[in-house]
Structure 1
Amino acid sequence: MEEKTGGIGVNEKPRFDKWLILSIQHLFAMFGATILVPFLVDLSPSVALLSSGLGTLAYLLITKGQIPAYLGSSFAFIIPIQTAMLVGGPEGAMVGSFFAGVVYGVVALLIKTIGIGWIMKILPPIVVGPVIIVIGLGLSGTAINMAMNDLTQKPPVYDGTLFTIALITLAITIIASMFFKGFFSLVPILFGITGGYIVSLLFGVIDFQPVIDAEWIVAPSVMVPFATYTPIFNWTIIAVMVPIAVVTIAEHIGDQMVLSKVVGRNFIEKPGLHRSIMGDGVATMIASFLGGPPNTTYGENIGVLAITRVFSVFVIAGAAVIAVCLAFIGKFSALIDTIPSAVMGGVSILLFGVIASSGLRMLIDNQIDIGAKRNLIISSVILVIGIGGAFIQVSDQIQIAGMALATIVGIILHLVLPEKEVSYGKKPMFETDLEN
């Protein structure tokens, strides 16, 4: 497979002024989603930017500067983090994130040793697709609550003004998604948040004083184990977060396949899938050491590569460095903190629905026969257990709940039910021949 031309190659370094503009473009692509995740789980957006930048730089190093991928906050871990924080607070969530990163490392070593065939055996589309649907629909209540209610009241109460702001924000996001072209079509979340913020200013619901009072240079409020807190091991947190890593690894492989086709290089073979998965895992562990959400490769940034034909890892690294710098600008962090929850709720209505729809798309793309009894049973059980909030209380210390339980049950059903071939569809989920 030859690298596609017409832009800037993977290892080419653009002129500085062009380099800066192209890096800022990638920053815009990932920004809205990356700050939305910590906003939803009550973590620091500035720390999320810091861990995103450092995680991306680590990823580039581990992949030998051969894969132009940007890493940002993972939506798949929102509900597990929220659950972990109920059990062990932010500190417990960070411990869970660390062990999720360890899973990436273990899988990377297995892939290097025995290949990727075993992943396909335990994670066919009929398991991964419904779990992704659960990830999106499981967050729908959060999006609606943020959009409709005044969360400063205890308990939250309906606020028509805030809901109007949320609906306008949603409309702006939809318009950006549908009618904007080129790069602008890739950043509807950023347009939605910006437009919603302006509308919020017009409605007078934003207090801009904290931005005025904030210092220009402020260190992010990082959470460092054994420095700012003492990590506590909790089996429930491990049981909630670790199984999700298995599903996000499947998504990671899909991203690598798409990225390989966009760039025209087989990244699965060189530098190797084990390196990209290890890079993803190390980035997640870095986030856990700083107090940020787990990281993952971003489809928005892959879209930027596809449109611009600029594949340079130097451009990606530049975006990562800018993200790190922004994390230390106090007024910028204060500005993010003033974004009303209704604005975030408005963009979330679309975004979480898109996540759920992408799970449905996986089933369609892989031509899964949902009418087959085996497929119908597996998908139905995963959806109801995941969205219904089922849990197993193993002991006083261990609870397997929601999405994690749905993932485990889905894998078990796939392994024990007969006629496995119908669960793989007519088109393999992990194509090894990237030439076609």
Structure 2
Amino acid sequence: MEQRQNKKKEQKGEFKLNNKPHLDVEEIPKPTQWLTLSLQHLFSMFGATILVPYLVGLSPAIALISSGLGTLAFLLITKGKVPAYLGSSFAYIIPIKALNEAGGPGAAMIGTFIAGLVYGIVALIISKAGHRWIMKLLPPIVVGPVIIVIGLSLSGTAVGMAMNNPAGKYSMLHFSVALVTLAATIIFSIFAKKMLSIIPILAGIIVGYVYALAVGIVNFQPVVDAKWFEMPEFVIPFVSYKVKLTWDIVALMAPIAVVTLSEHIGHQLVLSKVVGRDYIKEPGLHRSILGDGTATIISALVGGPPKTTYGENIGVLAITRVYSVYVIAGAAVLAILFGFIGKVTALIQTIPTPVMGGVSILLFGIIASSGLRMLVDSKIDFENKRNLVISSVILVVGLGGAIVKLPFHIDIQGMALAAILGVVLNLVLPGRQPLEENMFEETEPVKNKKTA
């Protein structure tokens, strides 16, 4: 009888997630628990966070340090109310890689700074005008295809890393390493339980690394030679490079920053459901966006990639029901410490390229699939020619490498151009659907009671 009643409630949308906390947001864990709980969050973000700098030519150590610093800044800006960890963003891989190759780390860091600045500007507007306008500007029919473009644009990179040896030629030995890594990651993703299901990337990398070690393509000597404490090579503006802002940098980074705002909003909505608090209202979407932007700016000032809230860490919260911001802060401090341990940095750098390639095949596919899922979950009707036109233009322009050359050496290309065209088409084509009045009410939380 009770099961039938629950089923009816679930069908009506009345059935609430069991989110009664073991540790609530403001609660401080016992010293014996604190380290273990924080390590869980560190490991959940570790694989993805070090993969981004590995792909774009930045320092994994600085990526860890900047993620820790950025997370602490985020917690301060959100008044210690939002238990979110910030790691490296995959959305910026292609523009950061392009800037790094064309103008060195300095250009990439200026671009990262611009991305954080866009977040800050949007946060300021939201604080004055509310948050509904951003949802109208970036509906699922625009954001979904752009996310698909982000994932599929990286597919060639993943396959090349998986199949080729260091000389850039096909190698079945190296491809076997990638396939073992991919298989392990898939198995952990589907069959693992509890905490292990949250860290399939890290687990897959470990299995792939062990296999690569067995077939003899790992050089472990740099780890032996490395010091325990080692200062990373920070990339500091005006010290490591001359600051020169160009329109090309703005054109590459700003549109992607606008689109990734929808990812941030989605994470805040999911986090609200998990924790049982309405983070869109308190501390407010403007504060969480400002925290994300500040973390990205901090990263730009030390030589790390752009930052974003991590779904993996939200998964940890959902499984453990430990929502304490002190645990998140502990993970941030551990990440900073790891960045200064030379042997950890050396170990990361010994990971063979096909190991990362194997993980990337799945990870970049998941990014593209998440765009498809957004379209499905939002019930986008492709019988509607308006939706068909918008998505078609975004996909072909983004994946086809289209480029618009404007005066003053301004080039807008690829994902950035696709995102801009998607936003424009959504605004000018007739038949735009009004914003659903209940879209934010769906996340209305059940207020938690403090645990004893």
TM-score (norm 2): 0.93
Equivalent runs, 1:16-415 vs 2, <5 Å: 16-150=31-165, 152-153=166-167, 156-395=168-407, 397-415=409-427
Instruction: Tell which deviates more after alignment, 312-321 or 213-222.
Output: 213-222
Measured against aligned partners, the alpha-carbon deviations of 1:252-290 in whole angstroms (never above 9, x if no partner) come to 001000000100011111111100000000000000001
Secondary structure of residue in 1 paired with 2:210: helix
Shift of 1:430: 5.0
Change (3 A) 1:416 1:315: same
- Please list the CA deviations of residues 50-81 of structure 1 after superposition, one character each: whole Å capped at 9, or x if unmatched: 00000000000000000000000000000111
Cα displacement (A) at 1:433: 4.3
More displaced stretch, 330-339 vs 118-127: 118-127
Q: 1:38–1:48: 8 Å Cα contact kept in structure 2?
A: yes
- Distance in 2 between the 1:405 and 1:294 partners? 20
Structure 1 distance, partners of 2:126, 2:70, is 21
Partner AA of 1:105 in structure 2:
G
* Stretch moving more, 162-171 or 225-234: 225-234
Shift of 1:3: 10
Distance 1:397 1:287 in 2: 27
Q: Is the 8 A contact 1:166 1:345 kept in 2?
A: yes
Count of residue correspondences? 430
- Listed one character per residue, the Cα deviations across residues 364-417 of structure 1 (whole Å, up to 9, x for unaligned) are 111110221000000010001111111111136211110000000000111110
Once residues 393 and 87 of structure 1 are traced to their aligned partners in structure 2, the CA distance between those partners, rounded to angstroms, is: 17
Q: 1:135 to 1:2 in 2, by over 3 A?
A: closer
Q: Residue in 1 aligned with 2:450?
A: none
8 A Cα contact 1:136 1:354, kept in partner: yes
Which AA in structure 1 matches 2:444? E
Whether the aligned pair in 2 keeps the contact of 1:87 and 1:237 (CA below 8 Å) is no
**Amino acid in the other structure paired with 2:402:** A
TM-score by length of structure 1 reads 0.96
Partner of 2:443: 434
> What is the rounded CA distance, in whole Å, between the counterparts of 2:359 and 2:139 in structure 1?
31
CA distance in 2, matches of 1:5, 1:360: 32
CA 1:429–1:195 in 2, change beyond 3 Å: closer, same or farther?
Answer: farther
Q: Is the 8 A contact 1:366 1:428 kept in 2?
A: no
Q: Is the contact between residue 106 and residue 240 of structure 2 (CA under 8 Å) also seen in structure 1? A: no
Instruction: State the 1:6 CA deviation.
Output: 3.8
Using the TM superposition, give the Cα deviation of residue 20 of structure 1 relative to its aligned residue in structure 2, in angstroms: 0.4
Name the amino acid aligned to 1:118: W
**Which amino acid is 1:159 matched to?**
S
Contact 2:226 2:346 in 1 (8 A): yes
What is the CA distance between 1:83 and its match in structure 2?
1.8
Q: Distance in 1 between matches of 2:219 and 2:365?
A: 30
**1:8 is the counterpart of 2:23:** yes
Secondary structure of the corresponding residue to residue 51 of structure 2:
helix
Tell me by how many angstroms 1:221 deviates: 1.2
Looking at structure 1, the residues matched to 159 and 439 of structure 2 have their Cα atoms a distance apart, in angstroms, of 35
Structure 1's 108 and 187: CA in aligned 2 closer, same or farther, altered over 3 A?
Answer: same
CA deviations over 1:169-215 (Å, ceiling 9, x no partner): 00000000010011111111001100000000000001111110011
How many angstroms does 1:82 deviate by? Answer: 1.3
Could you tell me which residue of structure 1 aligns to residue 10 of structure 2?
Answer: none
Give the direction of change, closer, same or farther, for the CA distance of 1:2–1:200 in structure 2 (3 Å limit): closer
Structure 2: tracts of 5 or more residues without a match: 1-15, 446-452
Question: Matched residue of 1:158: which SS?
Answer: coil
Closer, same or farther in 2 for the Cα pair 1:135/1:89, shift >3 Å? same
Deviation at 1:120, TM superposition (A): 1.7
Letter of the 1:59 counterpart: F
Partners of 2:17 and 2:273 within 8 A in 1: no
Q: Secondary structure at the match of 1:54?
A: helix
CA contact 2:48–2:201 (8 Å) conserved in 1: yes
Equivalent pair of 1:59/1:276 in contact (CA under 8 Å): yes
Worse-matched range after superposition: 113-122 or 391-400: 391-400
Matched letter for residue 42 of structure 1: G
Aligned mates of 1:176, 1:395 — CA distance in 2: 50
Instruction: Kindly provide the CA deviation profile for residues 296-343 of structure 1, in whole angstroms up to 9, marking residues without a partner as x.
Output: 000000000000000000000000000000000001100000000000
